[in-house]
Amino acid sequence: MSEKGFNNLFTKPYIKAEEVSQQLFREGKDGSRSSKRTDILNEETINIIKGMIGVKDLHNYEFKTEQSIVCSRGDKFKVDVAVFYKGSLRAVLLLKAVVKSYNKNRHNYTNTIEGEMARLFDVTDRKGVHAITIDWIPREVPTGDKFETTKIPNSINAENRWNMFLKERQCSASFCKIVFDYDIKSNIAKNVNGSEKLTSAIKSFLL
């Protein structure tokens, strides 16, 4: 696969979700909060993972969306995609597609990621589970009637801290960000960064 095709693969969930969102907007509906948009984001992300699994092994994997799992604080919480291998939870994916007004909420987003790691991994007997967060972030997004350049917080120290804590439990955390230039009118993404890290994160939990 060419570099362009490789990068297009990793922005496809965002592009497909925005197609749905824009169509709903044209129908007078709020596409940004639509469950249809979420379903497409989940489905296309699963397709990326399936493409990395050998045909002979695919039957061993099961993918569930909006899956409830045990939370460290009691009760359960939903994750966007849960990956099971031979019936056992193998990976959890938490997805976010940024559309507008990113900067004012950017640290809240990062805090949410950390909180979700605690809910997932403070379950002391949870072993062999890999968490991947995927944020699709255009380099510019609308905010009000203007555009802003997105300023992405550095979460590498938090990621490293979690992985030091999780290593002996054969677990890991990967905070992945797919960053790209995005043309809203044509719904096209270019100059994509972050594909390599996400590829590595997905390969880390495949058996």
State the pLDDT at residue 142.
Answer: 94
pTM of the model: 0.94
pLDDT per residue as tens digits for the range 54-66: 889 999 999 999 9
Q: Which portions of the chain are predicted below pLDDT 70? A: 1-7, 30-33
pLDDT for position 201: 98
Task: Give me the pLDDT at residue 62, please.
Answer: 98
**E-assigned strand segments in the chain:** 61-70, 76-85, 88-97, 130-138, 140-143, 146-149, 172-183, 188-193
What's 66's DSSP letter?
A: E
Per residue in 107-154, pLDDT tens?
999 999 999 999 999 999 999 999 999 999 999 999 999 999 999 999
